[in-house]
Structure 1
Amino acid sequence: MRHAIWWHVYPLGFAGADTTGADRRPTRGLARIADWLDYAVRLGASGLALGPIFASSTHGYDTVDHFRIDPRLGDDADFDDLVARAHRRGLRILLDGVFNHVGREHPAFAASPDGGDAPPRPDWFVPTGGTGPGGRPEYATFEGHGSLVTLRHANPAVADHVTEIMTHWLDRGADGWRLDAAYAVPADFWAQVLPRVRRAHPDAYLVGEVIHGDYPDIVRRTGLDAVTQYELWKAIWSSLNDANLFELAWALGRHDGFLDSFVPLTFVGNHDVTRLASRLREPRHLAHALVVLCTVGGTP
């Protein structure tokens, strides 16, 4: 990790798959990504950071089966081939783990096509106390997205399940995990799961998506290797747009302090934010933003 540079790919989009869920014809999207590995090497990357690759209803973040490759991307054989071809080129593989929530079609939730009155595992989800159509109970969702049902992280069975998923794919050759919406999951849940994963895979890189909060304290309490550096991301484009380098200097001072306890995952754009070329008012500042990314401490 000391010298890692990730090439970040959203597999469903890269493969041209339909992310609405209307067209789920099987394709071999992972094979298409594998054909670009030499490009990643020429780019200077040492790892491939993949967005969701597991079976989901639509866009990948509404997972329905964490043990199955999404048919729009291929199957286990395509995954094994991608890992083997990446490793031959010295590229590591980082998977995207969506463990704060699942899709409504996940078998733990969907007793019937519409969610049902009594999910098979009601202790896996968090009832809101309200009722929906037909008087069916409602369950907590991720930030108001009805298709993303929040898991009950206080249930030890959920921790066991997530541990099993993470270990399974590390056993198959993955090198680490980006933990989606890690900020929404209780820190003590990660503190239960991650040591168990590390016992089987002590070299795995585990990074959490954290938007705000006390980054060093979150790393300490969860056992994560790193978190995403949203503070610096915002300061880079904002300071360039406003010609306010005091903001950038303040963020870099904070960033240097973070480096005393962990190495943040740094970026100037990702799949959750407006692309940098659209965010910056002047195209000439693209190069300036990249200079910051490529010269500060961190894992870009």
Structure 2
Amino acid sequence: MIKKITIVGALLSMLIAGCSTSHDKEEKKVKKLLAESQSTEKIEDHKIIIYQMMTRLFGNTNTTNKQWGTLADNGVGKFNDINDAALQGIKDLGATHVWYTGVIEHAVITDYRKNGIPLDDADVVKGRAGSPYAIKDYYDVNPDLAVNVDKRVEEFETLIKRSHDNGLKVIIDFVPNHVARKYHSDKKPEGIEDFGASDNLKEGFDANNNFYYIPGKPFEVPEGYKPLGGDKFTTSDGKFKEIPAKVSGNGAVTFAPTVNDWFETVRLNYGVNHLSGNGEKVFDINGEVPSTWKKTLEVLTYWTKKGVDGFRCDMAEMVPVEYWNWMIPQIKKINPKIRFIAEVYNPTEYKNYIFNGKFDYLYDKVGVYDSLRAVMEDRPGSSLSHLTKVWKDMDGFNNHMLRFLENHDEQRIASKEFAGDPVLGIPGMAVSAALGSGPVMIYFGQEVGEPAIGESGFSGDDGRSTIFDYWGIPEHQKWVNDHKYDGGLLSESQKTLRNDYKKLLKAAKGSEAIRKGHLIDLQQFNRTNSQYNVDKTYSFIRYTNNDKVLVIANFENKDITSEVIIPNEVMTLIGIKEKKITAKDLITGYTYDLDFNTANESGLSIPVQKYGALYLSF
């Protein structure tokens, strides 16, 4: 299909209210606005597409969904459920990497004592299935995920190989800041010492202790905590023996943490004295580094040698940046192509953890995600114009930021707590995937509009798919379709949504301009344009010498014909001299006749469907 569009290269004096008609002043305005609208960083291609799954939920076809249900009640997904059909379906969506969340063994309520696995204490476990971030054994995998529990590590190794054979790389979690209160490794290689085995229990802080302690004080289970929703269980008695008490995972220095603390975990000690109040760093990276540094390096080496291609590092900013600077290069000697992704929420630390910490990518949660979410929720005062400041604040490392709209911590787009409509994910993902040359991530079920309805147990009914409970994911299960992974049970609207994600992600990955082009933000040039809704429309150009892509995203619940002004100076900058050009929308495949009519000053008149987006390549 060919569509005709008139694009106008307007003079900047027509765009800015109160601008002088003087040619010199106009040129200065042009230069200033162009400077504010261009990226300056060296562009590198980091455009990988990550598909995150909560592994225990992904392949589960049980539809019972009993509140606080056991594994026998509600079922659980297995490594073996992630078959070739599943992996091909993920790859067909556009993914290059799969993040298998919740693989490493963590505390659970299910009894595996017959397999030589100690029973966990319900009083320090959240949910029946447990938190995937309360690691019980860094060298083992979650027994829930295995068909043959005694061969659980081998089953995961087979999944790594199966993923690679299907053209997908593998990411797993590394949880460096904390472990389960009852940490014990029964799978550690010969010669490896457990965390805490040689700790000096008389000292609250010692640089070579693996944990922090409160000497002389026994641990107390949080007052009012009701494990398993109040159900009786063998180890549910309101007590947990731990003398002396260890400092909880979130750093709560108390023997009696509250239910709002990360009481089910204990914090690891990297040689930073968090008990002193000033966080003194007691280590020398050029000398003998603390015990925890060496032990965690052994863990990462173990999994790297098993073929893992990347680590998503939980709460990385709670671990000193010097540790990452020391550790990451050593792992990259084993596999130079391995990727490290940091969960960091403090923007003032972004540069530090990228350039000093040597991370490949950081979460972009408080920037692009929060800005897009505010608009998608139609919050008072929200505007897409805020994105200009967001990416400018990250200019210089924008391409190291991992963009997403959903993950296991965030609420589902389709949930009543968020947008309530999964289609809003399309313009949001179009912007997220194209605004930089960095990676983009999609969470399983997002592509079919999973709304996360229902109270599962510990997780509650909060718009998130539970990470603590045995559960089925209803809309996702329609795509799973008894492990055929063909979407046979999806509605037509769900099939359309998934196909739109597929086209969008493949377009972002396939475009040279989006992968490694420079950025020009058009929002600035349209801020006084009465025919352009700066709050609900976002547009920008990505360009290289060989490829130019105009991105336009519409966040309104109606079709629009927006007047987008692209100044002559921008057209000259990106190397466009012709008046008439044929362009192709990389998402829909439609062809457009672009008429650059410089005689008119009204702007580019282009139709965009409600909650739609265009990647116009010319």
Shorter-chain TM-score bucket reads: 0.7 to 0.9
Contact persistence 2:377–2:419 (CA under 8 A): yes
Indicate yes or no: 2:415 matched with 1:275.
no
| Correspondence 1:62 to 2:134 | yes
CA 1:252–1:77 in structure 2 vs 1: closer, same or farther (change >3 Å)?
farther
Query: Are the equivalent residues in 2 in contact too, given 1:62–1:148 (CA < 8 A)?
Result: yes
Q: Distance in 2 between matches of 1:5 and 1:239?
A: 24
> What amino acid sits opposite 1:89 in the alignment?
N
Query: What residue in structure 1 maps to residue 391 of structure 2?
Result: 255
Q: Which 10-residue stretch deviates more, 78-87 or 92-101? A: 78-87
d(CA) in 1 for partners of 2:267, 2:327 = 17
Superposed counterparts of 1:147-166, under 5 Å: 147-154=264-271, 156-166=290-300
With over 3 angstroms needed to count, the CA separation of the structure-2 counterparts of 1:42 and 1:253, relative to structure 1, is same
User: Which of the residues 40, 53, 61 maps onto 1:9?
Assistant: 53
8 Å Cα contact 2:342-2:363 kept in structure 1:
yes
Give the aligned residue type for 2:267. T
For 1:225-240, list aligned pairs within 5 A: 225-231=360-366, 232-240=368-376
User: Equivalent residue of 2:407, what SS?
Assistant: coil
> Aligned residue for 1:299?
439
> Residues 210-262 of structure 1, C-alpha deviation per residue, up to 9 Å, x if partnerless?
12232122212211111100121111111232367864333344325535234
Moved more, 254-263 or 74-83: 254-263
Q: Are 1:32 and 2:47 matched, yes or no?
A: no
SS at match of 2:400: coil
How do 1:81-92 residues align onto structure 2 when only pairs under 5 Å count?
81-92=158-169
CA distance in 2, matches of 1:71, 1:137: 30
Deviates more, 1:172-181 or 1:207-216: 207-216
| Higher helix proportion (structure 1 or 2) | 1
In 1: Cα distance, 2:161 partner to 2:139 partner? 19
CA RMSD in angstroms comes to 2.9
Question: Which residue identity does 1:64 align to in structure 2?
Answer: K
For 1:277 and 1:62, how far apart are their aligned partners in 2? 28
Closer, same or farther: CA 250–51 of 1 in aligned 2, 3 Å: same
TM-score using structure 1 length: 0.85
Deviation track 1:157-185 (CA, whole Å, cap 9, x = no partner) reads: 21111111112111111111000111211
1:116: which partner in 2? none
Secondary structure class of the residue paired with 1:265:
strand
The worse-fitting range, judged by mean Cα deviation, of 168-177 and 189-198 is 189-198
AA paired with 2:97?
G
Q: Residues 28 and 78 of structure 1 are in contact (CA less than 8 Å); yes or no, is this contact kept in structure 2?
A: no
Runs of 5+ consecutive residues of structure 1 not aligned to the other structure: 109-118
Greater radius of gyration (CA): 2
* 1:147 Cα deviation after fit: 0.9
Q: Matches of 2:133 and 2:300 in 1, distance apart? A: 16
Q: Deviations over 1:189-227 (max 9, x none)?
A: 212221221222221100101122321222122111111
Identity of aligned residues (%): 22
How many residues are matched?
289
1:221 to 351, 356, 371: 356
User: So what's the TM-score if we normalise by structure 2?
Assistant: 0.43
- Larger CA deviation: 95-104 vs 256-265: 256-265
Equivalent positions of 1:238-249 (< 5 A) are 238-242=374-378, 247-249=383-385
Q: 1:259 to 1:176 in 2, by over 3 A?
A: farther
**Deviation of 1:149 (Å):** 0.4
